[in-house]
Amino acid sequence: MSPLRLVFLGLAIWGAVHPMSYFVPWLMENGVDLSALVAAWKVSAATTGLYWDLVIAAVALTIWIVAEVAVRRNWVALIAIPATFLIGVSCGLPLYLFLRAKPVR
C-alpha cells in the first residue's frame, strides 16, 4: 500500500473516531433525539454556518463520488456516501480518497 493511501486511511479513521468522542457523550446525555440534535446545530450563527458548510461539502462529495463511480465503475467507493452522512465529511472524504487511490489494474 502506498504512503499516500496510508495517509488517507489514517485520516478516515481519525475522522471517524475523533468526532465520535464528542458525539457519543452527547448521545449518552440526550438520547437519540433528532430535534435536540438539530436545535444544537442551530444554537448560534457560528454553529449554523458550520452545519451548512458541512452539508454543502457532503452534497458536493456525494455528487463527485456518484459521477466518478459511474465512469470508473469502482462500486466499492459508494461506501463513502453513507460514511459521509452517518459519520461525517471528516471520514467520508478521506475514505473516498483512500478507495479512489487504489492502483488501477
Q: Quote the pLDDT of residue 88.
A: 94
CA 17 and chain centroid, separation? 11
Q: What percent of the chain has pLDDT over 70?
A: 98
Predicted confidence (pLDDT) per residue in 39-86, tens digit = 888 899 999 999 999 999 999 999 999 999 999 999 999 999 999 999
Helix 45-72 / helix 34-41 crossing angle, nearest 10 deg = 110
Contact (CB, 8 A) for 6 and 95: no
Distance CA 17, CA 48 (A): 23
